């Protein structure tokens, strides 16, 4: 995938939107089944160095509420998402949250994009890192006018989803 992205960039193709990406791939005779994944990977590549230049305190990490263990989670819903009770050591939300906060990130566990946008307006971060299903990653990539990095859930759905914790840590 990185070879294809580099080819497009070397050709000077504007990859700012999914539609331009689809058109560019068509010109190259490529029809990737996962144009959305490619689009998110491009955004990650474009913003990687910029995101590294920001202090963790100037970035927000968003985790999806569906990553919680729904039957065991004792988190309480607030105006800024779920407040993790760190009730289950096997919970990936708690593991990621603890790791990110030790590094200095603000972490929010949210039920979806509208709450995310509200939190961004309130805290005005320089950059955003999101863990989400592809639909939510695309929503953020197309609507946020700031550097972003995204990690796709390895198991989607709206409950008891999954993510590669090491992949999230590597972005942080």
31 found inside a domain = no
- Position 2 in a domain: no
Look at residue 14 and tell me if it is in a domain. Answer: no
Q: What is the mean pLDDT of residues 153-164?
A: 92
pLDDT for res 1 = 65
Q: What backbone phi and psi angles, to 5 degrees, belong to 45?
A: -65, -45
What interhelical angle do 35-53 and 2-10 show, nearest 10?
80
pTM score, whole prediction = 0.87
For residue 8, tell me if it sits in a domain.
no
CATH number at residue 59: 3.40.50
Average pLDDT over residues 144-170: 94
Q: How confident is the model at residue 104 (pLDDT cuts 50, 70, 90)?
A: very high
Please indicate, yes or no, if residue 112 is contained in any of the structural domains.
yes
Q: Is residue 40 part of a domain?
A: no
Residue 23: inside a domain: no
User: What is the C-alpha separation between 10 and 92, in angstroms, rounded?
Assistant: 38
Q: Is residue 123 part of a domain?
A: yes
Arithmetic mean of pLDDT over the chain: 89
Indicate the length of the chain as a whole number: 172
Q: For residue 83, what are the domain limits? A: 55-171
Q: Is the pLDDT of residue 112 over 90?
A: no
* pLDDT of 93 higher than 90: yes
User: What's the domain count of the chain?
Assistant: 1
pLDDT tens track for 113-147: 889 999 999 999 999 999 999 989 998 998 999 99
């Amino acid at each position: 995938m990185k070879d294809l992205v580099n080819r497009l960039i070397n050709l000077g193709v504007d990859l700012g939107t999914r539609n331009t990406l689809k058109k560019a791939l068509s010109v190259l005779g490529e029809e990737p089944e996962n144009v959305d994944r490619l689009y998110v990977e491009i955004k990650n590549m474009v913003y990687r160095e910029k995101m590294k230049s920001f202090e963790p305190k100037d970035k927000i990490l968003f985790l999806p509420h569906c990553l919680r263990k729904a039957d065991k989670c004792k988190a309480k819903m607030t105006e800024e998402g779920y407040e993790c009770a760190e009730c289950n050591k096997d919970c990936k939300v708690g593991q990621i949250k603890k790791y990110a906060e030790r590094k200095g990130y603000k972490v929010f566990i949210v039920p979806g994009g509208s709450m995310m946008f509200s939190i961004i307006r309130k805290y005005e971060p320089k950059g955003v890192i999101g863990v989400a299903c592809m639909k939510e990653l695309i929503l953020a990539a197309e609507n946020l006018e700031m550097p972003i990095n995204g990690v796709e859930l390895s198991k989607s759905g709206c409950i008891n989803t999954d993510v590669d914790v090491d992949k999230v840590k590597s972005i942080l």
